[in-house]
Structures are given as structure tokens and as C-alpha cells.
Chain A
Amino acid sequence: MIVLDIDKKLLAADGEMHLELNLTLEKGKLITLYGESGAGKTSTLRLLSGLMKPDQGRIIVNGKTWFDSDKKINLPPQKRKIGYVFQDYALFPNMTVLENLEFALAKGQDKKNVSDLIEIIELGTLQHRKPETLSGGQKQRVALARALAERPDILLLDEPLAALDIKIRLKLQDYIQKIHREFNLTTILISHDIGEIVKLSDHVIFLEKGSIVRQGNPDELFINRNISGKFKFTGEILKIEQQEIVHIATVLIQNSVVKVIVQDSEVQDLHVGDKVLVATKAFNPILYKIEG
């Protein structure tokens, strides 16, 4: 369990901002920070990892105090067991993929950790290449693997998929889901992409100008918004699940997520990632696949 109760004055683009967080995060969950840029999302990750020092408050992780302004405790980033994927990946340009991963190991840690990760994240063919020769998606996978090499309990992901195109993004979402479960991690993700949030996270925290304005499970938070009676919009399928006799498709339309019942006969033709048209007929919305 992570208890964050901190205060930090930040210099934002439009003057000073107060970041005030009071959060309890459950172990093993995937939590998303959502909000406009400048709301304090990256700062939250930096405060938790020790790269930034809170003005006051405390951070307690699994019963261990990482920061306490009253007791003058402040563990340096080196002592906090955290995996951090930076927005710009921060791969070491002078090392190959394999060397990047091996460098991340703690002293005396088994090199098998690295070979396992290379297998899970399918980096085998890339391992002797330097980061500058990799594509964005490949760099992202290396950064993800490297953050896990030390076997942290907590994984922090700062907009890991923002710069990637949709196809690679979907693939990487699967990787994130897989490692989150496989390594039994508590993962904190920063994302702007509602589709991604609904697909991946257990819990969403809305930040606005440094304060938490809402939090809860993503279905509740995103799906109750903006449902209009008559509409005809294009959207994208995020997931299709079978519930008893019908299939339910979750569709992203601009920034809202809707759930639509799909008939058995139609479901064969629909896949996650498909662009669809959502329109109302007499009773309930119907999905039309858009070709191309």
C-alpha cells in the first residue's frame, strides 16, 4: 500500500501552483493519473520516486517511510525500489539494449532477470543494437524492460504511449497489462487517452491544478458522461466482451466511452481497434464497421 500525503509548491507556466495530494493506493493495482498538462501528474511521479522533494508531508510505502518532513526522513531515489519509464525513454545512448538492461541490475542480481525480460518483452533480435537505431515503439519496450530489471514493486509510467501510433500503442498496452500481472506490480500510469485508461486501469485519479478533483473506477468516471439520446458518431472499439447471451462493445467516441450491445451475428466482423460508426435506430445504438 502506498500512502501519499504531500504538499509541494511548483512553478507552473502561469505562476505558482500548489500540488496537494492525499492518496492511498492499493497494492497490485494499476492506477492512472489523468488531467491536463501542468496539472501535476509528472510531478507526482517525481515526488514518489524521490527525484523531487516535497515541501512537507509523508510518503509511506508498504509500511516503510520514504519521506517524512517532521521526522526529517528523505530516502534518495537510489534507495526507493521503483521502476520508472520516462516520457523521453531516457535510454543510455552509449550502451546496447542488453547493456542498458544489465546496467539496471543491482549488484549481485542474477543476470537471468535480464534474459527473462528480453523474452517476455520480445527484445531478442534487438539486444545488440544501440538505442539510436530503434523505432519509438522499440525504444519504449526497452525502457519498459529496463525499468523492470531491478525487480521493483512499483512501476511508474510517464505517458509511455503518447508518441506512438495506434497499432503499436495497442500492442504496448498488452505488454503493460502482461507485466503488471506477471510481476505483481503496483503500477502508476500517466495517460491522456481515455481508451487506454478504460482498457488498462483499475483506478483513475483526476488531477486539476494540483488537486485531486475526482477518483474512482474508470467505467464509472468516463462512461456516465455525455450520453445523448440521438447521435451518429464515429468511434473506435476498445474492447468486446461476452456477457451471458450478448456481446458488449466498449467504444471510444472522441473523449467519451460508450457501451453498445452487439448481436452474435455482427460480432464476428468487429475487432478491437476497428473504427466504427455508432448511430441510434429505434431503440439502441448499432455499430457499423467503417472500411479502410
Chain B
Amino acid sequence: MIDWSPLLLTFELAAVTTIILLVISIPLSAWLANSKSRLKPVIETLVSMPLVLPPTVLGFYFLMAFSPNNAFGEWMNEWLGIKLVFSFPGLVIASILYSLPFMVHPIQSGLSGLPSSIKEAAYVMGKSKVTTLFRVQLPNIKPALLTGIVLSFAHTVGEFGVVLMIGGNIPGKTKVASIAIYDEVEALNYGAANVYSMILFAITFCILLAVYLVNGKHLKKLGR
């Protein structure tokens, strides 16, 4: 019988990461979609960095920053009692940054794609920017929100390098499925590796298929 905890941990990590990402990304994307600030290209670059950077680079710097031997890690440890290295909260923080572009990009392009007259119409009616965002803009970019949620979730499920660097390989705490597969292969347990792999394969396939089906239907409706 295989150990289910790496799979459960993977999906727990992906779910927590996706929820926090959604909360962070909505205001960030709204700002990026509207801003004409000189800082905007810099922020956009930082958000996109995880797309091109090897995950090990990100993981390495997290490891350095979170380490109790350094100022930030020590401060977190002493004042908040949170140990970020080799722990679940550390994994969550690293995953959020690692998957940030997958949530921000779809929402930002969804918001930019709406005609600006829609938001201006709401402003002229006396509606605040926040009301307009939640009642008018976001409800009209549901496919973009769904894409962002699913891609972030799937991307977090598929994480390996960052998790290995920052999380280590502690069973039940930081040993997620992708690492468990690597472990089993190293121990020549191909059977167990195969089970983990098949499950991940099947679940991610189903999630992505669902997105394309739903968004396809929505696009057809818009095109009519």
C-alpha cells in the first residue's frame, strides 16, 4: 500500500497557495491594468521572473532569506514564532511567489481586455473603483479568473525545484508528491513512483480539460 500523505500534502499546498494568490492578485492585477506609473515595468518584470528563472534559484534565495542565521529568518522565528525553512508555511510563501505570474497574467489581461467605457460608465454613475472592480469588471472576466485559478493550482502541483530547496523532504510536512516520485525512483520502487505519477497525470489532465471545456463554451457564447 502506498503512502497517501504526499498526495494530500500536494493538494493542500496547491489549495492554500491558490486561495492566497487570488486574494493578492486581484488588487495587484487591477493596479497593473490601470497604472501608468514608472514603477509598472519593474513590477511586471518581477512578477514574471519565476517564468524564466530556474526554480532552484528562487529556492536558494528563499533558503538564504528564511534561514534562522539571517536577519529576516531570525526575526520571523523570534517575533512571530514561525519557522519558514523546512516547514509548510515556508512552502506556501515560496509557492505563492513561484506561481504568481500564472494568476496575475490572466487576470491582468482580462481586465485590460474589457472596453474602458464599461468602467467609466460605472464611475460616471458615482460608483467607486472598488465597487466597479467587484460588481462590473471581475464578473465580466470569469474565464480569465478561472484560468488564473486553475493554472496556479496546477503549477503548484507540478512544483519541484523550489520545494526541494526550501522544504527539504520531511514526510507529512514538506514531502509533496513530485518529491515522493523522485524519492521512490531513487529507491528503485518503480511501482510506487508509477502510482503517484499516474494520479498526478490523471488529476491535472481532468482539471485542465475542465477549464478548456468551460472557457470554450463561454467563448462560443460571446461570439454568437
**Chain A: residues with CB nearer than 8 A to chain B?**
49-51, 76-80, 82-84, 86-88, 90, 92-94, 103-104, 106, 132, 146, 149-150
Closest to A81 in B: B126
Closest to B141 in A: A94
Chain A min CB distance to B139 (Å):
4
* Contact status B125-A150, CB under 8 Å: yes
Bound state CA distance, A82 and B123, in angstroms? Answer: 10
* Contact status A76-B123, CB under 8 Å: yes
Bound state CA distance, A103 and B123, in angstroms? Answer: 12
* Contact status B124-A106, CB under 8 Å: no
B124, B127, B136: which contacts A94 (Cβ < 8 A)? B136
Contacts of B124 in A (CB 8 A): 49-51, 77-78, 80, 82-84
Q: Which of B123-138 contact A (CB under 8 A)?
A: 123-128, 135-136
Q: Which of B98-134 contact A (CB under 8 A)?
A: 115, 117-118, 120-128
* Contact status A78-B127, CB under 8 Å: yes
Chain A min CB distance to B4 (Å):
41
A77, A83, A94, A149: which contacts B123 (Cβ < 8 A)? A77
Bound state CA distance, A88 and B122, in angstroms? Answer: 14
Residue with the greatest number of chain A CB neighbours at <10 A, chosen from B115, B124, B139, B224: B124
Contacts of A103 in B (CB 8 A): 122, 125, 127, 135-136
Contacts of A86 in B (CB 8 A): 117, 120-121
* Contact status A93-B140, CB under 8 Å: yes
Provided the pairs A77-B120, A86-B120, A103-B135 are in contact, do residues A92 and B125 lie with their beta carbons within 8 angstroms? Answer: no
Contacts of B123 in A (CB 8 A): 51, 76-78
Bound state CA distance, A88 and B118, in angstroms? Answer: 9
Q: Which 9 A-B pairs have the closest CB atoms?
A: A90-B117, A90-B121, A94-B139, A86-B117, A77-B123, A84-B124, A78-B126, A104-B125, A77-B124
Describe B's contact surface by its main secondary structure. Answer: helix
* Contact status A84-B126, CB under 8 Å: no
Interface size of B as a range:
10 to 19
* Contact status B135-A90, CB under 8 Å: no
B121, B128, B136: which contacts A84 (Cβ < 8 A)? B121
* Contact status B140-A94, CB under 8 Å: yes
Bound state CA distance, A79 and B126, in angstroms? Answer: 6
Q: Known pairs A51-B120, A90-B115, A150-B126. 15 more at Cβ < 8 A?
A: A78-B123, A78-B124, A78-B127, A79-B126, A82-B124, A83-B124, A90-B118, A90-B120, A92-B121, A93-B140, A94-B136, A94-B140, A103-B122, A103-B125, A132-B222
Contacts of B140 in A (CB 8 A): 92-94
23 A–B contacts from the bound complex (CB under 8 Å): A49-B124, A51-B123, A51-B124, A77-B124, A78-B124, A78-B126, A78-B127, A78-B128, A80-B124, A84-B121, A87-B117, A88-B117, A90-B115, A90-B118, A90-B121, A92-B136, A103-B122, A103-B127, A103-B135, A103-B136, A149-B125, A150-B125, A150-B126
Chain B min CB distance to A105 (Å):
8
Bound state CA distance, A104 and B115, in angstroms? Answer: 18
Contacts of A106 in B (CB 8 A): 126
Contacts of A94 in B (CB 8 A): 136, 139-140
Contacts of B128 in A (CB 8 A): 78
Contacts of A149 in B (CB 8 A): 125
Chain B min CB distance to A190 (Å):
14
Contacts of B122 in A (CB 8 A): 92, 103
Bound state CA distance, A163 and B221, in angstroms? Answer: 23
Contacts of B224 in A (CB 8 A): 132
Chain A min CB distance to B118 (Å):
5
Bound state CA distance, A94 and B136, in angstroms? Answer: 7
Bound state CA distance, A132 and B140, in angstroms? Answer: 12
Contacts of A132 in B (CB 8 A): 221-222, 224
Bound state CA distance, A49 and B122, in angstroms? Answer: 12
